[in-house]
A and B are shown apart, each in its own frame.
Chain A
Amino acid sequence: MYRILKKKKLNPTVTLMEIEAPFVAAKALAGQFIILRADERGERIPLTVAGCNKETGAVTIIFQIVGGATMTLNEKEEGEYIADFVGPLGTPTHVEGLKKVAVVGGGVGCAIAWPVARSLHELGCEVTSIVGFRNKDLVILEDEFKACSDRMFMMTDDGSYGEKGNVCVPLNRLLEAGETFDEVITIGPLIMMKFVAAATKPYNIKTIASMNPIMIDGTGMCGCCRVTVGGQMKFACVDGPDFDAHLIDFDEAMKRSRTYQEFEQKAREKHCNLFKKEVK
């Protein structure tokens, strides 16, 4: 059992938790993930590590409430326990030696982009952050990004906060103006990462996307996190989750991500109807 040390609502559908897991906290690096189960009957949920504190043994996770399992997790309160918490899994994001990087995050993907931006900043890299959300109410981690960015662009789809448009708008503007980066790191919805990859391709700028596919064990056993990269089958849990965005077959990944859509929809309805629980 793993104790919830802290719980904070970042927006109506995104929650931050700190979980007591000292062995994971001692080892986790930016870009790595954990898998948790809220209770004994629960699904295994993979979540990227948003931060950790080696002294207190706390691991920070940020999750969006999307299905039955994340609803159950969101019902847990500070001081309560979750059943399982395993990690760190996956290969850490490569951050060493980079001098100038654009970190492009979208939606809850910003929760993963933030620790990457922070690691780069701590290593003395010049960080340009471009973060995008659907609207003002969904904005998360703004101050955190500001603190580790040399430049920051805040975008909303409807223009209710920051600049109107998607993350590719400022990215294209910078690239067209002749700006160059050692690397662009992008984390967010598959469709957004696909467009970021398309934007940087003509400029030959190395672009890394962090994939978050369907997963069970996280150790290379189930094979459901397979992603086609450069025509080869890769397992996101052990080979990734970071891959060369110019080589990822995003169209296949988007279709695969909908494998259990119907089931998830039913689970959500069942969860809400049976227990009459609202998303808190």
Chain B
Amino acid sequence: MPKFNMNPKKNEMPTQDPLVRNKNFSEVALGYSAETAVDEAKRCLNCKNRPCVAGCPVNVMIPEFIALVAEGKFEEAYQTIAKTSSLPAVCGRVCPQETQCEGKCTRGIKGEPVGIGRLERFVSDYHNVNSTQMPQKPQSNGHKVAVVGSGPAGLTCAGDLAKLGYEVTVFEALHLAGGVLVYGIPEFRLPKAIVEKEVDNLKALGVKVETNMVVGRVFTIEELKTKYGFEAIFLGTGAGLPRFMGIPGEGAKGVFSANEYLTRSNLMKAYESDSETPYFHAKKVAVVGGGNVAMDAARTAKRLGAETVYIVYRRSDAELPARREEIEHAKEEEIIFRLLTNPVAILTDADDNVVGLRCIEMELGEPDASGRRRPIEKKGSEFEMDVDCVIMALGTSPNPLLKKTTAGLETKPRGEIIADETGKTSLEGVYAGGDAVTGAATVILAMGAGKAAAKAMDEYIRAKN
């Protein structure tokens, strides 16, 4: 057994220098070396009750894979993760580990938890570089299933069903598969080559990916069942519809949803010098919101050349919903946090260009329904910020298209598809999961839902035949 590492702190993740990286789109975190990974792995106590596994929505066999890393068996460690997770290289980068696996880690009680996310990332990158072996297409069981949406929920569901022998077709509305992994999360946090590699792995398993297909318009759910013979359908259509604040000036030039701003940069590659995609050259940018998307938008704006970038958030630092690491990275990159601040109006000139943002200071009152302390306006504290661009990162709602075009598909008032814990919806043979069901959440929760639905769909089809 390798020697145990008593260090109370995690091995640091090497990163690009903040003032260099805030001008480029290369990945911020550089990843552990093999040596550091082994050292970090030796911090794991290999607890009998495995609290970390219970904290993982897809139940990665964490102590087992870490024990293999400690022995230097990196490919075996990867195979252990891959048994339950279909996107390890993605999860190692974007999961909120501090509230999941690492949040439950025994080492975290006195000191820092084991760097589970960093080890997962190391192992997946090792595999991607060193393994040339593509997955094999399993023997077909002759049953056809459809997956609508190629984000984390859809890809996970498709992967699990393909491994069981199903003939899986994934329908994607955009020209590229990956959903939020390609249009939302920036290159500097999740390189697109990694997403492409995961999609290629699915294709090797026999999954067909049909891009440019807006289900609900080009085919209805009913047609997928009756005309095209899909025996079960998974809806992983995400929560794409951006919210705005309803304050004056939101229609002005220079006001964007974070989705638009990020899609232009990520999916449409506006940051590359030869791109045809138009983007708005702003000098002073205010991003409204405190989640991961807000951090992504602020850091993208900085990289696209903005001199001053603010995060404007109505609660305090402790309530920021973003991953802690993203908040730290943003601060290092000179993003300015205007906390306990809420916009009341976007100021414009005669030609409707943004010339400022009027805000009001907030203070925290009693906890609200979310358990977080409710922000209350401080009377008479209004002030103006000098900005020429405002990006709204206030969360998103599920897209209304499927609800509109699918009779009998029950949804909540805000548009979330109603599904039980196995993903079963009000329509027979139709399952759903991810943000389309929960509203905007995380990649890993969507993957968990895709996994649960794949299992339920398999049971449903087997019971019928």
Q: Do A and B come together as binding partners?
A: yes
Which residues does A use to contact B, with CB under 8 Å?
23-24, 27, 37, 41-44, 68-69, 72, 83-89, 216-224, 226, 228, 233, 235, 238, 249, 252, 255-256, 258-260, 262-264, 267
* Chain B: minimal CB distance from A35 (Å): 9
B244–A86 CB distance below 8 A: no
- Most chain A CB within a 10 A radius of its CB, from B173, B278, B280: B278
B174–A72 CB distance below 8 A: no
Whether B35 is near chain A, meaning CB under 8 Å from some CB there, is no
Q: What residue in chain B is nearest A260 (Cβ atoms)?
A: B278
Interface residues of B in 333-362 (CB under 8 A from A): 351-352
Interface of A is mostly: mixed
A233–B278 CB distance below 8 A: no
Cα A262 to Cα B211 with chains together (Å): 32
Q: Which residues of A contact B252 (CB under 8 A)?
A: 255-256
Cα A85 to Cα B351 with chains together (Å): 35
Q: Which residues of B contact A224 (CB under 8 A)?
A: 256-257, 260
Whether B4 is near chain A, meaning CB under 8 Å from some CB there, is no
Q: Which residues of B contact A258 (CB under 8 A)?
A: 253
Q: What residue in chain B is nearest A266 (Cβ atoms)?
A: B278
Whether B277 is near chain A, meaning CB under 8 Å from some CB there, is yes
Q: Which residues of A contact B241 (CB under 8 A)?
A: 220-221, 223, 235
A222–B260 CB distance below 8 A: yes
Q: Which residues of B contact A222 (CB under 8 A)?
A: 242, 257, 259-260, 263
Q: A224-B256, A224-B257 are in contact. Are A263 and B352 (CB under 8 A)?
A: no
Given contact pairs A221-B241, A223-B260, a sample of 6 additional A-B residue pairs in the complex whose CB atoms are under 8 Å apart: A24-B218, A86-B175, A217-B174, A223-B241, A223-B244, A256-B252
* Chain B: minimal CB distance from A60 (Å): 17
A-B contact pairs, 6 of them (CB 8 A): A69-B276, A220-B401, A222-B257, A224-B257, A238-B400, A263-B280
**Interface digits, B259-274 against A, CB 8 Å rule (1 contact, 0 not)?**
1100110011100001
Which residues does B use to contact A, with CB under 8 Å?
173-175, 183, 211-214, 217-219, 240-242, 244, 246, 250-254, 256-257, 259-260, 263-264, 267-269, 274-281, 351-352, 399-401
Cα A241 to Cα B404 with chains together (Å): 16
The 10 A-B residue pairs with the shortest CB-CB distance in the complex, in nearest-first order: A221-B240, A223-B257, A260-B278, A255-B352, A86-B212, A263-B278, A222-B260, A223-B242, A84-B175, A224-B260
Cα A220 to Cα B254 with chains together (Å): 19
A72–B276 CB distance below 8 A: yes
Q: Which residues of A contact B175 (CB under 8 A)?
A: 37, 44, 83-84, 86
* Chain B: minimal CB distance from A209 (Å): 17
Cα A86 to Cα B219 with chains together (Å): 12
A219–B253 CB distance below 8 A: no
Q: A252-B251, A256-B251, A259-B280 are in contact. Are A238 and B214 (CB under 8 A)?
A: no
* Chain B: minimal CB distance from A117 (Å): 23
A87–B183 CB distance below 8 A: no
Q: Which residues of A contact B240 (CB under 8 A)?
A: 217, 219-221
Cα A249 to Cα B352 with chains together (Å): 13
B277–A43 CB distance below 8 A: yes
* Chain A: minimal CB distance from B198 (Å): 20
Q: Which residues of B contact A43 (CB under 8 A)?
A: 268, 276-278
Q: What residue in chain A is nearest B242 (Cβ atoms)?
A: A223
B268–A216 CB distance below 8 A: yes
Q: What residue in chain A is nearest B241 (Cβ atoms)?
A: A220
Q: Which residues of A contact B174 (CB under 8 A)?
A: 217
Q: A224-B257, A255-B253 are in contact. Are A267 and B214 (CB under 8 A)?
A: no
* Chain B: minimal CB distance from A148 (Å): 26
Q: A27-B217, A216-B260, A223-B242 are in contact. Are A228 and B399 (CB under 8 A)?
A: no
